Structure 1
Amino acid sequence: MAKQALIVVDIQNDYFPQGKWPLVGAEAAADNAVRLLDAFREAGDAVVHIRHEFTSDDAPFFTPNSEGAKLHPKVTNRADEPVVLKHFVNSFRETDLQAILDEQGIKHLVVVGSMSHMCIDGITRAAADLGYTVTVIHDACATRDLEFNGVSVPAAHVHAAFMSALGFAYASVVSAEEFLAGKR
């Protein structure tokens, strides 16, 4: 089997209930991400954390050097797990993520984190375009209610639409339970 890495995307304090940009289901998604994190660590597989920070103090969330921009305590990295700092939706853009993965011979990415409709979508599509095999753990991702042109879109619908699109052409989309039971 090709070498795999768990990519923990933007599970940061501002996305939780007391943060500046809370997501629907952030706690449950983080709990499932922890299950994957534990399994990858136990298996000795690679883990890479992604941390988003905007470059301006005027940002709505993830402001530079803020408590909200820190990784959530549930998923704090170990010393041997790199944290990639990014400033864009796409985790590969202007970061060393691809170099970290290529240096370890990683061919398969397992993606968890937030937000389903932004950074999960961005990393999944970019990774597929770069030739990686990608699995998204849908119940280890979270998003929020959106609005478009006067239409309110509940988070569950946003999430379902993006997981469906990613599953159509970019990734295998499975639950944490399915993945941990061996459906990889």
Structure 2
Amino acid sequence: MSLALLLIDIQNDYFPGGAMEVPGATEAAVKAAALLAAFRNKSLPIIHVQHLAARPGATFFLPGTAGADIHPSVQPLAGETVFQKHSPSCFRQTPLLEHVQRKNITRLLVAGMMTQMCIDTTVRAAADLGFSCLLAHDACAARPLAFGGREVAAEDVQAAYCAALNGPFAQVLPSAELLASL
């Protein structure tokens, strides 16, 4: 089974000073960068995904802005695959599925932002499409949420989504354990 690294939406707007800061983005990017370095060192397939806002009234990931750029910590190198998307799923209206099928990729190691949105949506879609997924939980980050008058801290959102994905949709592990298994 061929394994590829899928880095999702590690973009400037999610970092301190960005238009949609995500708590823990910097720490998650450090872990994602270590995964990226290991995949580069072993010449394993790497796929970067960049979200560009397409909906009216969007306030972040605006095309042509520095906030929409992929963060320098995981900047793609020449020749690395980069896809752009306009919705939470990396598979929706992108060439990702055709690309991984053409390359005979059957396993995806996923890292990126935001766990409760694009990571969750993409991992579930990948599992539905028959891919085996690994999720580096410490190479991802989530934002706090609110529902029914209740505030949910970012670390609780992260834990809940990772817990829900673990098992039926992905094997959720720390990046160090995933690095050791490469």
TM-score under structure 2 length normalisation:
0.97
User: Matches of residues 55-66 of structure 1 in structure 2 within 5 Å?
Assistant: 55-56=54-55, 58-66=57-65
Partner of 1:169 in structure 2? 168
Report the more deviating stretch, 48-57 or 149-158.
48-57
Question: For the aligned residues, what is the CA RMSD?
Answer: 1.0
Task: Quote the offset at 1:60 in angstroms.
Answer: 2.1
Structure 1 unaligned regions, length at least 5: none
More displaced 10-residue stretch of structure 1: 79-88 or 131-140: 79-88
Give the stretch that moved more between structures: 59-68 or 133-142: 59-68
Partner in structure 2 of residue 159 of structure 1? 158
Q: Aligned pair 1:70/2:69, yes or no?
A: yes
Among all aligned residue pairs of Structure 1 and Structure 2, give the percentage whose two residues are the same amino acid: 43
Query: Given the alignment of the two structures, is residue 138 of structure 1 paired with residue 142 of structure 2, yes or no?
Result: no
Q: Which amino acid aligns with 1:49?
A: H
Runs of 4+ displaced beyond 3 Å: none
CA offsets, 1:100-158, max 9 Å, x none?
A: 11111100000000000000001100000000000000000001111111100000000
For 2:73, the aligned partner's letter is K
1:6-40 per-residue CA deviation (whole Å, 9 max, x = no partner) reads 00000000000010000010000000000000000
Aligned positions, number? 182
Displacement after TM superposition at 1:57 (Å):
6.1
SS of the aligned residue for 1:181 comes to helix
Q: Quote the residue 1:84 is aligned against.
A: 83
Instruction: Give, as a single letter, the amino acid of the residue that structure 2 aligns with 1:84.
Output: F
Aligned to 1:15: 14
1:27 alignment partner in structure 2: 26
Q: Is the 8 A contact 1:7 1:47 kept in 2?
A: yes
Please list every run of 5 or more consecutive structure 2 residues that lacks an aligned counterpart in the other structure. none
Q: What is the deviation of 1:58?
A: 2.3
Normalised by the length of structure 1, the TM-score is 0.96
